[in-house]
């Protein structure tokens, strides 16, 4: 048995994932996908933490049920493990497959299975529960008492991490030539390290409020800091994405076939403007328009 295998299963998994993350942070994930080597790296420490949690579930199960002592011994039980997780949402099942594919350095891409005989449920928009209806945590957060924060979120579409790390220096005034309105340069705590310039989107009063908030301080002081866990940030991002889409959407009847996004599943029959969807997607820090259609647009 090698020195590495003398570690506990959790230690072995942690050692492997940490090495992949140390090597991956700062690399271009986009370029690695093109080169076909993205399965060798993990690109953010947050992703490492998420994958490590789910890998721990798996190796602990292997140890308790089959007495496994090495990651190699555990691998044969991946299909059985994923099958035992059928009670979880399709998204969680796919997350666990993604975590294990990193652990075993398997290619995991659309149309290519990382493990033989491993199937997961299909994601369905109708099954998504997040930010649909009232949640228990909502009772501990008053939108009325936090009206400025809620308005700011709905006018910027920032993620929670981006919001908490926002500094007054990130404020951007409207461009003199009218090419950009007042908004933010979002470059801290972004997903995948991607930066973006966004405009405040809302009524004149809402935009004025956002400008006033960003003008109250200066330098690297944080604007909001820790944000209450009860704030439904995803819902506010959906409101923002919908407003951005509506600003740029063209009448579908005037578009060519390849300019139209045809929704499927429970939204079958809904047609959207691909160009406006891409603008909204990039404003949120995403690249794929399918994400906007399935998770954000409220039309």
Beta bridge partners of 184: 171, 198
Residue matched to tokens 């981006």: 162
80 CB-contact burial (10 Å; exposed 0-12 / middle 13-18 / buried 19+): middle
146-205: per-residue pLDDT in tens? 999 999 999 999 999 999 999 999 999 998 888 889 999 999 999 878 899 999 999 999
Which residues in the chain come in under a pLDDT of 50? 131, 136-137
pLDDT of residue 294: 83
Where are the strands (E) in 138-281, listed by range?
A: 171-172, 183-186, 196-199, 260-262, 271-273
pLDDT at position 60, please?
Answer: 96
pLDDT for the residue 214: 97
Among candidate residues 279, 296, 293, the one with its CA nearest the CA of residue 196: 279
Confidence at residue 128, expressed as pLDDT on a 0 to 100 scale: 53
pLDDT reported for residue 5:
54
How high is the pLDDT of residue 295?
A: 86
- In terms of Cβ atoms closer than 10 Å to its own Cβ (0-12, 13-18, 19+), residue 294 is middle
Provide the whole-model pTM. Answer: 0.69
What is the separation of C-alpha 163 from the centre of its chain, rounded to a whole number of angstroms? 14
In 3D space, the residue among 155, 162, 160, 168 whose CA is nearest the CA of residue 141 turns out to be: 160
CA 122 to chain centre: 18
pLDDT at 194: 87
């Amino acid at each position: 048995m090698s020195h590495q295998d003398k570690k506990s299963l959790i230690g072995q998994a942690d050692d492997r994932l940490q090495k992949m993350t140390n090597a991956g942070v700062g690399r271009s994930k986009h370029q690695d996908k093109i080169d076909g080597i993205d399965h060798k790296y993990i690109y953010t420490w947050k992703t490492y933490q998420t994958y490590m949690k789910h890998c721990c579930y798996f190796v602990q199960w292997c140890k308790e049920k089959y007495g496994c002592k090495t990651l190699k011994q555990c691998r044969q039980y991946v299909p059985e493990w994923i099958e035992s997780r059928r009670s979880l949402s399709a998204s969680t099942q796919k997350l666990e497959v993604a975590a294990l594919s990193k652990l075993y350095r398997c290619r995991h891409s659309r149309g290519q299975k990382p493990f033989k005989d491993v199937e997961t449920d299909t994601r369905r928009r109708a099954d998504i529960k997040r930010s649909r209806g009232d949640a228990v945590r909502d009772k501990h957060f008053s939108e009325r008492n936090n009206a400025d924060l809620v308005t700011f979120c709905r006018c910027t579409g920032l993620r929670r991490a981006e919001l908490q790390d926002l500094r007054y220096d990130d404020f951007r005034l409207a461009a003199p030539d009218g090419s950009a309105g007042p908004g933010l340069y979002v470059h801290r705590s972004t997903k995948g390290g991607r930066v973006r310039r966004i405009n405040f989107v809302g009524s004149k009063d809402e935009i004025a409020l956002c400008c006033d908030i960003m003008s109250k301080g200066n330098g690297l002081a944080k604007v909001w800091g820790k944000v209450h866990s009860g704030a439904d940030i995803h819902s506010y991002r959906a409101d923002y994405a919908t407003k951005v889409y509506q600003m740029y959407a063209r009448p579908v009847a005037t578009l060519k076939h390849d300019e139209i996004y045809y929704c499927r599943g429970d939204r079958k029959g809904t047609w959207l403007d691909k160009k406006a969807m891409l603008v909204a997607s990039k404003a949120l820090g995403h690249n794929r328009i399918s994400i906007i259609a399935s998770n954000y647009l409220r039309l």
